[in-house]
Amino acid sequence: MVSIKVLSLTLLLFLVNCSDCYHVLLVFNLPGKSLSILGESFVRHLLNAGHEVTYVTPFPMKNKPKNNFHEVDVSEGVDKLFAEICNITFLLENTHFESDEEEIMHLGVEVAEMTLTNPNMLKLLNDKTQKFDVVVGDYLASELVAGIAYYYDCPMIWSYSMGVDSAILKLVHEPTNPSYIPDYISLNIPPMSFKQRVGELWTLIRNTWVKRHSVMPRELAFYKKFYKPLLEKKGKPLPAYEDVMYNASLVLVNSHQASGGLAAIPQSVKLIGGHHINGPVAPLPDDLKEIMDSSTNGVIYFSMGSIWKSASMPITLRDNLVRMFGSLKQTVLWKFEEDIPNLPKNIHTLKWAPQHSILAHENCMLFITHGGLGSSTEALHFGVPIVGVPISFDQFLNINRAVSKGYALSVKLSYNLHNDLKVAIDTIATDPSFKSNAKALSEIYHDRPVKPGVEIPHWVRHVVRTRGAPHLRSPALMVPWYQKTYLDLVALVLLVVLSLFLLVKKLMFTVKSAKVKSN
């Protein structure tokens, strides 16, 4: 009898737990290995919370989870998208190269098109047995993936890896004020000069125009061609593209207030910066631990991330950096994808680097980085000062914000990098304020009610349980742009003023005519 009661209670608890477990479709399709790290973090946190996950990625996981996990490989052709601009030698020889937002928008569309037309993705979409409770998509300048949520009759959540800015806020609220929130590829941080504010306003206007008249026609043509046949098989009409664009329930942003520069955010935007950093940090490999433990003068860690590889820099620059690093008293750990001959004793190259474990070590005194938001967040998490060598996208803004917070210096990527880095290293090594500022901001970063990874399954579950979280939806989405800017009021005032002007003018003409007649 007791065993039956225990079994019944166990079954009841199992059913209760399963009632909160959902099938989540994660579309992390952007062509950046660092972005796949964020995607795999979503996978891990959702699986740990008991959900079933189907993961769409161009970077198949090496250690795939065994239970409740399905992977859709969309890697075909993706590696060619960034091939040229991710070469450091190319960037140094083409100094005119700049991040162009129109190119980024079209890149976002191209990635979405490649993902959706990938044979593995088409196989998933045409599988009539597949059902999902929610779709989570990684956002880059195109909303085409949002059509999947309508296809499966479920809510849409965006993940965004570049902080809070107009590019993402316009989907769930409205664009930010450019007088104090710069564009994500901007060099400016507030307070801005008059010229900078005008430049930011022009950027917002130009991007809005480009999206509307250059990018959306391409998106709309693909949207109709791709989704209409799929929906017809289900007997569903094709909704207006704008209805799909602005139907997201939530945005999960890889940022935190300690980074600085955040706009006033609506309820449908949640900050989960640092969710990919697991705790406790894994121990260092024995050889690397011995190196760091014995480095009493400190360790400098140098990594240009997973997209821009140090091995792609010119040999002359590499050799100059080797000579400069060799002259330092500190130990240098350099993430370099190839072997370098005749290295000085204080330089150690790593083809793969356990970045979290390195930054967590007490002897790590400095992180030289390209300034991607992932690496910047990790430096903040572990309280390590930065020397930034920004290259593209949001890296300039991330590093400039860190500089304004007093825990970073910025150095331009050039053939003089070795000399500029030497000055920056000496400055940070001799000024303790950089370290103290980094530690102070790290304390702010860690002072949260819950860990960021816990928020992912919470908000995913919340959106599903509340059927799209309409209570979090910003009322700004229901107000036309001309009403937000009070242009209708301006038009009314101008109409009244013009009417009064014409009335007065007519009265004066009438009075003047009467005088002429009387004379």
Average pLDDT, the chain: 90
Do 509 and 428 share a structural domain?
no
Do 294 and 265 share a structural domain?
no
User: Nearest 5°: CA angle at 89, between 389 and 373?
Assistant: 30
Percent of the residues in the chain that have a pLDDT greater than 70, as a whole number: 94
Per the domain annotation, does 2 fall within a domain?
no
CATH classification at residue 217 = 3.40.50.2000
pLDDT in tens, 412-457: 999 999 999 999 999 999 999 999 999 999 999 999 999 999 999 9
What lies within 8 Å, CB to CB, of 200 at 6+ separation is 178, 179, 182, 183, 186, 188, 192
Do 181 and 48 share a structural domain?
yes
Per the domain annotation, does 321 fall within a domain?
yes
pLDDT confidence of 5, banded at 50, 70, 90? low
Q: Print the domain residue range for 502.
A: 482-518
Do 232 and 318 share a structural domain?
no
pLDDT in tens, 137-156: 999 999 999 999 999 999 99
pLDDT confidence of 223, banded at 50, 70, 90? very high
Which pLDDT score is estimated for 96?
Answer: 55
Residue 510 has pLDDT above 60, yes or no: yes
The span from the CA of 413 to the CA of 471, in Å, is 46
Do 390 and 316 share a structural domain?
yes
What lies within 8 Å, CB to CB, of 128 at 6+ separation is none
Which pLDDT score is estimated for 2?
Answer: 45
pLDDT in tens, 462-506: 999 999 999 999 988 888 888 988 999 999 999 999 999 999 988
Q: How far is CA 180 from the centre of its chain?
A: 19
Task: Provide mean pLDDT across the span 223-231.
Answer: 97
pTM of the prediction?
0.89
Residue 444, CA atoms < 13 Å, CB-side half-sphere: 14
Which pLDDT score is estimated for 308?
Answer: 78
Per the domain annotation, does 8 fall within a domain?
no
Which pLDDT score is estimated for 12?
Answer: 41
Q: How many domains does the chain have?
A: 3
